[in-house]
Amino acid sequence: MPEFDVAIRGGTVVTASDTFRADVGIRDGRIAAVAETVEGAAREIDASGLLVMPGGIDSHVHFAQHAGPDITPADDFASGTAAAAAGGNTCVLPFALQVKGTSLRESVEEYRRKADGECYIDVGFHLIITQPTPEVLGQELPALVKAGHTSFKVFMTYDELVLNDRELLEVFEVARRERALVMVHAEGYDAIRFMTERLERAGHTEPYYHAASRPEAVEREATHRAISHAELVDVPIMIVHVSGREAMEQIRWARQRGLKIYAETCPQYITLTAEDLRDAGVEMSGAKYVCSPPPRDRESHRAIWEGLEQGVFQTFSSDHSPFRYDDPRGKLTPKGRTSFRWVPNGIPGVETRLPILFSEGVAKGRISLNRFVELAATNHAKLYGLYPRKGSIAVGFDADIVLWDPNRKETIRQEILHHGSDYTPWEGFAVTGWPVVTMARGEIVAEHGKLVGRKGRGEILEREISPYAAAPA
């Protein structure tokens, strides 16, 4: 019997710390050898000229998430995980949203049912807490953390999601006790409402004004408030989807005070600007770019790159939250035509996250290969309780691997993507570097732009408590 099921031969292995020439031997879905030469495998894959990296982990995606009565998200768990795999990812962390009036436990069960048998790659659920009742805080959350849902998201805005300051503090306190990581959507509800109503009164209702309704000050204020609450409770938190310099300044300030504040940014904040939200000759075409926080400007891109280079950010996620554009249940919902405030928030991006980061970061000389791996996979695993199971290439890790062609030039186009949306915000965007083979727990799931894996092979993960999330004793 061959010693290995698969040997990946002749490639350059890249981890968050090292880059070296090695073969990788895989047995029973896990990495069993990393050596100068691996022989004796049932199947050999020639990786010469390719990088052998940990499969991407996208710790911020929304699949089949309840988005209101008249809106349907563009991706379910099948299309979402298919797109993720085609884009070089081997694991994603979507959300289980507590719909108001239902218990958190029921909500988690509902999302597990939606995902069951549908996924091409492994998934793990963060929880979104919208009603932190005594029952949720005292019983459901502790039980769900023990069951492997070791992170939750809270919102400081949106009618259906917002928590007030007292509620945020209560959730932070449970997170501290249970050693879970809280992800914070930091934009201030009242300020956005005020700005929105003022813009609407002035007749400014087109998608472009979405950006004007939530300027950086709105994000800065909420980031500061979340950090101050975290300081009161003495708990680490993660500020997600940071869009520009002002929120970054708050995060730097907090770290100088010795607080454990983590931060995430996304492709939209290094590539898109508020100008993209203008209706470029087509009514409502700016709706394609409506997401929150909104894309800012070129100076913000420079600021975010500074943060990616200097370590302000631990993770680079897609915040994949797709809607179809030409669809009354998507971006062109009839209500959305009356005001930007009703345009569903979010853009597709799970499939294009890694090529954009590689091309803009590594190929343009801004970040090292190792920093790429850290931002794309390793830190996601560490922060969200998947390490040392996923997120690196070493003996004992799941064989979650992407073979990457660093020289391949590609142009991002809707027609080559696998997501359920009918557009990509990056149509025509040229990149250097592209995933060639995505292997998840030793099985090839995507190859040369084609999905070859089996639907349902992806598992729903129980995650560990992350040592990075735990507050000081």
Q: How far is the CB of 247 from Zn ion (least distance, A)?
A: 13
Residues in 277-306 that interact with ligand DUC by CB under 6 A: 292
Residue 345 binds which of ligand DUC, Zn ion, none (CB < 5-8 A, kind-dependent) = ligand DUC
Interface with ligand DUC includes 346 (CB under 6 A)? Answer: yes
- Closer residue to Zn ion, CB minimum distance, 185 or 389: 185
Q: How far is CA 423 from CA 132, 286, 370, 418, in A?
A: 36, 12, 31, 11
Place of tokens 């549908």: 118
H or E stretch including 113? helix 104-115
- Spell out the residues 6+ positions from residue 164 whose beta carbon is closer than 8 angstroms to its own: none
Closest CA to 349 of 372, 323, 373: 323
Rounded to whole angstroms, how far apart are CA atoms 281 and 305?
31
Q: What is the amino acid identity at position 432?
A: T
- Tell me how far apart the terminal alpha carbons of the chain are, to the nearest angstrom: 50
Closest approach of Zn ion to the CB of residue 59, in Å:
10
Task: Please tell me whether residue 345 binds ligand DUC under the rule CB under 6 A.
Answer: yes
Residue 210 touching ligand DUC (CB under 6 A): no
How far apart CA 19 and CA 12 sit, in angstroms, is 7
Minimum separation from the CB atom of position 285 to Zn ion (A):
23
Query: Distance (Å, rounded) from C-alpha 220 to C-alpha 197?
Result: 20
The mark string for 26-65 relative to ligand DUC (x by CB under 6 A, - otherwise) is ------------------------------------x---
Task: Report, in Å, the least distance between residue 5 CB and Zn ion.
Answer: 36
Burial of 134 (0-12, 13-18, 19+ CB in 10 A): exposed
Query: DSSP state, 287?
Result: G
- Quote the DSSP letter at residue 404: E
Query: Residue 243 or 250: which CB sits closer to ligand DUC?
Result: 243
220 binds, options ligand DUC, Zn ion, none, Cβ within 5 to 8 A by partner type: none
Report in angstroms the alpha-carbon separations of 116 from 63, 110, 119, 165.
13, 10, 7, 35
Rg of the chain over CA atoms, in angstroms? 21
Residue 352 binds which entry of ligand DUC, Zn ion, none, CB below 5-8 Å type-dependent: none
Residue 390 interacts, among ligand DUC, Zn ion, none and using kind-specific CB cut-offs from 5 to 8 Å, with: none
- Site for Zn ion contains 170 (CB under 5 A): no
Distance CA 62, CA 350 (A): 10
Contacts with Zn ion by CB under 5 A: the residue count is 2
Taking CB under 6 A as the rule, does residue 319 contact ligand DUC?
A: yes
Which one of residues 224, 241, 260, 463 is an interface residue with ligand DUC (CB under 6 A)? 241
Cα separation, 466 vs 473, in Å, equals 14
Kindly state the smallest distance separating residue 187's Cβ from ligand DUC, in Å: 8
Among 151, 265, 318, 321, binds ligand DUC (CB under 6 A): 321
Cβ pair 322, 189 in contact under 8 A: no
* DSSP state letters, 320-335: B----SSSTTTTT-HH
Compute how many residues bind ligand DUC; rule: CB under 6 A: 8
How far apart are CB 357 and ligand DUC at their closest, in Å?
18
Token duo for residue 209: 């004004």
Minimum CB–partner distance for residue 73 and Zn ion (Å): 11
Residue 36 vs 159, nearer CB to Zn ion: 159
Rounded Cα distance, 332 and 3, in Å? 55
Least distance between ligand DUC and beta carbon 313 (Å):
15
Site for ligand DUC in 155-194 (CB under 6 A): 185
Distance, CA of 263 to CA of 236 (rounded, Å): 11
| Listed ranges 40-48, 177-185, 244-252, 462-470: which one lies at the site for Zn ion (CB under 5 A) | 177-185
Of all residues in this chain, which one has the CB nearest to ligand DUC in the complex? 321
**Does 185 interact with Zn ion (rule: CB under 5 A)?**
yes
Give the burial string for 36-45 (b: 16+ CB within 10 Å, else e).
eebeebeeeb
Nearer to Zn ion by Cβ, of 65 and 378: the residue is 65
SS3 assignment, position 111: helix
Could you say which of Zn ion, ligand DUC, none residue 179 binds, taking C-beta under 5 to 8 angstroms by partner kind?
A: none
Spatial distance between the Cα atoms of 185 and 372, rounded to a whole number of angstroms: 24
Q: Which one among 23, 76, 264, 319 touches Zn ion, defined by CB under 5 A? A: 319
CB of 320 to ligand DUC, least distance (A): 8
Least distance in angstroms from the C-beta of 245 to Zn ion:
19
Judged by beta carbon distances under 5 to 8 A according to partner kind, the member of ligand DUC, Zn ion, none in contact with residue 418 is none
Binding footprint of Zn ion on the chain (CB under 5 A) = 185, 319
Binding footprint of ligand DUC on the chain (CB under 6 A) = 62, 185, 241, 292, 319, 321, 345-346
